[in-house]
Amino acid sequence: MKIYFASDFHLGAPNKEESAVREKCIVSWL
């Protein structure tokens, strides 16, 4: 069994536009 832990993404920082790029990467990884 594999266990993954993901944390400390700082969503919303420094602004909505830059955070949206990270959010899309994180969601696609999930």
Q: What is the tens place of the pLDDT at every residue in 1-30?
A: 999 898 888 888 899 999 999 999 999 988
Predicted local distance difference test score (pLDDT) of residue 30: 83
| Cβ atoms of 7 and 26 closer than 8 Å | no
> Measuring CA to CA, how many Å separate 17 from each of 12, 24, 26?
8, 11, 15
Amino acid at 29: W
Q: Is the pTM of this model over 0.85?
A: no
Predicted local distance difference test score (pLDDT) of residue 15: 93
* 20: alpha, beta or left? (left if phi > 0; alpha if psi -120 to 50): alpha
Largest CA distance in the chain: 37
